[in-house]
Chain A
Amino acid sequence: MPDFAYIRARTIAEAVEALSADPQARALSGGQTLIPSIKQRLAQPSALVDLGAIAALRGIAREEAHLRVGAGMRHAEVAADAGVRALAPGLAALAGLIGDPQVRNLGTLGGSIATNDPAADYPAACLALDAEIETSARRLPAEAFFTGFFETALAPGEIVTAVRFTCPRAGAYAKHRSPASGYALTGVFVALLEAGPRVAVTGAGPGVFRWAEAERRLAEGFTADALEGLVPPADDFLSDLHASAAYRAQLVAVMARRALAGAIAGSRG
């Protein structure tokens, strides 16, 4: 690995200061995305600002109708958390489907959404559960946070501190893994919130998105057959080595139906 400076931040302020002082510095959380890219020389940061010791990025708390999950929470911790399992079982299940045990034991929520990989799982939960992203500088809705292909609204020196998910009346995630990487070839999160149904799709397009037509149907009735026969147009979908756009469209349709079935089966009424 090329040389870099290593800074272990104790507080959010310290991390922000270190990152702002050096535009070539990068935040380090679970390292599951960043370290391999440094090894492959795709990234050559001058310094790594390790967020791992910042207590304020840890913890999961219930805040009325919301679950606030610290950006430093590891996928395995979210998957196993009793509160998440009770209040947003789809979110716990999603975290348990990320990568493999090694990745889940190190990778974090903050690192995942800051990367905004178009095949990552968490962004689907953020959109479906109408999450609010808390950063070192502000709070913004998930829809404003994910801005494009590997792009977020984060400004230089700004870090994600927590995500506030809305606890749904019902919700479930269905994922078709890319067999090689484990990422979502297509993942669909279907949720019924107080404000209405939401269907968020990851893996299929260049970034996570809400499937308006499916939401419209579910608004008419959140029933098992509501999505029958509905397949999204494949025009804007990714087509690559792993799947054609048409196959991704098919998977969106199937995963949406399965997530819906899961949501209804696990519904809290």
Chain B
Amino acid sequence: MKFGSGQSVRRLEDVRLVQGRGTYTDDIALPGMVHAVMLRSPLAHARILSIDAGEAAAQPGVLAVYTGADCDAAGLGDIPCTTSVRNADGSRVFVPARRPIATDRVRFVGDTVAMVVAETVEAARDAADLILVDYDELPAVTGTARAADPAAPVLYDAHGSNVVLDWELGDRAGTEAALERAAHVVALDLVNNRVVVASMEPRVAIGAFADGRYTLHTPSQGVHGLRDRLAGAVLKVPPETVRVLTPEVGGGFGMKSFVYPEQALVLFAAKALGRPVKWRGERADAFLTDTQGRDHVTRAELALDAEGRFLAVRVDTIANLGAYLSQFAPFIPTLAAGGMQVGVYDIPLIHQRVRGVLTNTTPIDAYRGAGRPEASYVIERLVDAAARETGIAPETLRERNFIAPDRFPYRTAYGSVMDSGEFARLLRTALARADQAGFAARQAGRAREGRLSGLGMAYYVERTAAGQEHARIRVLSDGTVRLHVGTQTNGQGHETALAQIVAERLGIDIERVQLAPGDSDALAEGNGTGGSRSLVMAGGAAGQAADAALEAGAALAARELQTERGALAYEAGVWTAPAGASIGLFDVAAIAARENPEAGGLGADAAFSAATNTFPNGAHVCEVVIDPETGVVEIARYTVVDDFGVVLNPLLVAGQVQGGVAQGLGQAMGEQAVYDPETGQLLTGSFMDYWLPRAGDLPDFDVTKQEVPCRTNPLGVKGCGEAGTVGACGAFVNAVLDALAPYGVRHVDMPVTPEKIWTLTGGRMP
């Protein structure tokens, strides 16, 4: 079937995935493969006095037990944190050494203490139980604000403080002056709660070593970055001696972007033992050791003039980074969304300070939105608080301060240039679709039944990642087109979206285009999925590669048809000469394959660069109904109007928004990773204690779009992958606060659990 841009093509991958025919890393079994189990620290903070693995190593079926000393002896490097972030005073961020296996000290519950490799998982597990570790327990610190307190226990004696990052952006003096002379200042203390990522597929790593080369099978968000960091930082070998392969991935959300100790360890063990080694995380491993998200405490202030115009924003955040600095940890609370607390408003001044602290908790890193949801939450909460305090309707106050459409390209106070946006139009559309006009009547009706209603909104803006991306196309004589890209599908539907782009360029059926799984050998470079960049970047590269393949094909076709290249017409996969003779794309591919067998057909490589980010944006409107007796909140309606520029596949986009909103609402309504403040134990270590929203907990979302084409990329698209998450928390909490306004409540922190609401309502209607 022919499907091009703008059509709701159903996901090509779904039949395979839904029928269980997908190949995930856990489905791979290499000949002679053995199994690794990690012994995890049961303590949040302790010195390791001794490890006795003698009995474990002697168990039947056990091949080896490795500890930190073995990693040291093998010369393995640290699990890397790649950061370009600098402290405000110009100094470097303190990056503690994270060994693949802890050597002298453990710093969070779940820290790896030893690895057992055995013929079966059960044998490895049994043996791990026999390892004797003598710990000297140390006091732990888990709380974000508490960690910055000089009296708190310190994780790294060499650094002497848990504050490892102190970063600033913007105009400190100017912002301070604006706050001082402002007619009105709104201030809020906000918590952005810590969440677990909870990908459906856990982390897995299968390592093999043969002929001087390492091979790693693992779910990832991009094989090349992983290869380079594993090779360069940990294994200390040239990158070409490492091959990373990623088949289907069951969700990453940022978390699968990074190098993890287990990936390095299975490669190390595979080489040492001469057998492929597999580690598959259990759900308990995921709770304890997958990077987690968010965890900020923030003091935020917004200055307004007497007419309600925004003058300046000041934001002071402490960001919990966990026990070690994960790969992008310093980047997420700082540069990833630096200054985006101005939102979509014409605010000339911002000053932002971020202190990053280490705690005895699981490392924190990028989680869907990575900094933008946090920034959006700050400004959208501030704006609503300002509306309530000044008595101006929240939509009016927003409209008064939106960057007007005629101001683009618009340079923000934090330095980025936004290309386009029609914020007032989108907000009005969303409020109309949400039937804001009918809200008062609904509210009155429910009040008669003893239920509260609230309507809240948020206008979010995203900034998607830019950079470079690579693609390779091979038009094969068997009638298919094989596409390699340097991003990596994690289940978002890249197979479909990218096939749409290529099929349209080549004028062929979409089913003929097949996206190859991730393989660092198949393409020289790639930058992975993350920051909502794949369609813009990989789509751009794939389109270019398709065009280049057509160029090459046209030259061959002209030769075959004995005509001028310029005289050929191309349509629906066929070149036609003026005299009527014609030749098909795949026949040309067959000729190309014969003449140049090396290349395997007609093909081209392309590299696509985009220096500028895209700025997807939109309005979320949430209507809640609250039972004041129990505090239970029900979302009665949820309306989203997005501007993703030109939309390639509305169905895929709606899916991304639905999932993103669900994740955002999860954080706002109940998700929270809770650590015991004394012992540092993760109290929410399973789904029996950690709530994730289920389909039944959420209503159908009304998701529509208004296309304001992006002016800075050829497809006119704006990334959509994280947007839902960016807008949802603010809209939900604003709706709850609207409902609770009659009680005089002006603040509640996420997660807004029923019990919290009950303490605010006292169990009664106002």
Contact = CB atoms under 8 A, between A and B. Distances in A.
B755 interface: yes
Contacts of A250: 629-630, 758, 763
Contacts of A241: 674, 683-684, 689
Contacts of A254: 629-630, 763
A93 interface: no
Given A1-B122, A250-B758, A250-B763, A181 B629 contact: no
B687 interface: yes
A247 B691 contact: no
A242 B684 CA distance: 10
Contacts of A24: none
B126 to A, nearest CB: 8
Contacts of B759: 247
Which of A180, A181, A254 has the most chain B CB atoms closer than 10 A to its own CB?
A180
Nearest to A177: B632
A251 interface: yes
A247 B284 CA distance: 29
A244 interface: yes
A181 B683 CA distance: 14
B52 interface: no
A2 interface: yes
Nearest to A254: B629
Contacts of B630: 176, 250-251, 254
A269 interface: no
A252 to B, nearest CB: 11
Most chain-B CB neighbours within 10 Å: which of A181, A243, A244, A247?
A247
Contacts of B135: none
B122 A179 contact: no
Nearest to A231: B763
Given A1-B122, A254-B629, A254-B630, A180 B689 contact: yes
Contacts of B684: 241
B180 interface: no
Interface string B685-713: 00111111000010000000000000000
A40 B129 CA distance: 13
Contact of A180 (B629, B690, B763): B690
Given A241-B684, A251-B630, A179 B758 contact: no
A57 to B, nearest CB: 27
Contacts of A243: 755
Nearest to B763: A250
A40 B685 CA distance: 12
A2 B691 contact: no
Contacts of B61: none
A186 to B, nearest CB: 9
Given A2-B122, A241-B684, A254-B629, A180 B755 contact: no
Contact of B687 (A41, A180, A242, A244): A180
A250 B758 CA distance: 9
B125 to A, nearest CB: 8
Given A241-B674, A251-B630, A179 B691 contact: yes
Contacts of B126: 2
B131 to A, nearest CB: 15
Given A241-B683, A254-B629, A247 B758 contact: yes
A45 to B, nearest CB: 16
Contacts of B670: 179-180
Contacts of B697: 179
B474 to A, nearest CB: 44
B612 to A, nearest CB: 42
Nearest to B129: A41
B758 A181 contact: no
Nearest to A180: B691
A247 B755 contact: yes
A254 B763 CA distance: 9
Interface string A161-185: 0000000000000001001110000
A3 B61 CA distance: 15
B667 to A, nearest CB: 14
A243 to B, nearest CB: 6
Contacts of B674: 241
Contacts of B683: 241
B26 to A, nearest CB: 16
Nearest to A255: B630
Given A243-B755, A254-B629, A181 B122 contact: no
Interface string B477-506: 000000000000000000000000000000
Nearest to B676: A241
Nearest to A186: B630
Contacts of B629: 250, 254
Contacts of A251: 630
A154 B602 CA distance: 75
Nearest to B684: A241
Nearest to B121: A1
A247 B629 CA distance: 10
Contacts of B690: 180
A62 to B, nearest CB: 33
A170 B478 CA distance: 72
Interface string A223-260: 00000000000000000011110010011001000000
Interface string A27-59: 000000000000011000000000000000000
B286 to A, nearest CB: 14
Interface string A67-90: 000000000000000000000000
Nearest to B697: A179
A2 B691 CA distance: 29
Interface string A128-167: 0000000000000000000000000000000000000000
A154 to B, nearest CB: 24
A28 to B, nearest CB: 20
Interface string B652-676: 0000000000000000001000100
A3 B120 CA distance: 13
B665 to A, nearest CB: 13
Contacts of A179: 670, 691, 697
Given A2-B122, A250-B763, A254-B630, A180 B688 contact: yes
A28 B758 CA distance: 40
Contacts of A181: 687-689
A179 B687 CA distance: 10
Contacts of A3: 122
Interface string A1-39: 111000000000000000000000000000000000000
Nearest to B756: A247
Contacts of A242: 689
A243 B690 CA distance: 13
Contacts of B125: 41
The 9 closest A-B pairs by CB, nearest first: A180-B691, A181-B688, A179-B691, A247-B755, A254-B629, A241-B683, A180-B689, A254-B630, A250-B763
21 contacts: A2-B126, A40-B284, A41-B125, A176-B630, A176-B632, A179-B691, A180-B670, A180-B688, A180-B690, A180-B692, A181-B687, A241-B674, A241-B689, A242-B689, A243-B755, A247-B758, A247-B759, A250-B629, A250-B758, A250-B763, A254-B630
Given A180-B670, A180-B688, A181-B689, 16 more contacts: A1-B122, A2-B122, A40-B284, A176-B630, A179-B670, A179-B697, A180-B691, A241-B674, A241-B683, A241-B684, A243-B755, A244-B755, A247-B755, A250-B630, A251-B630, A254-B763
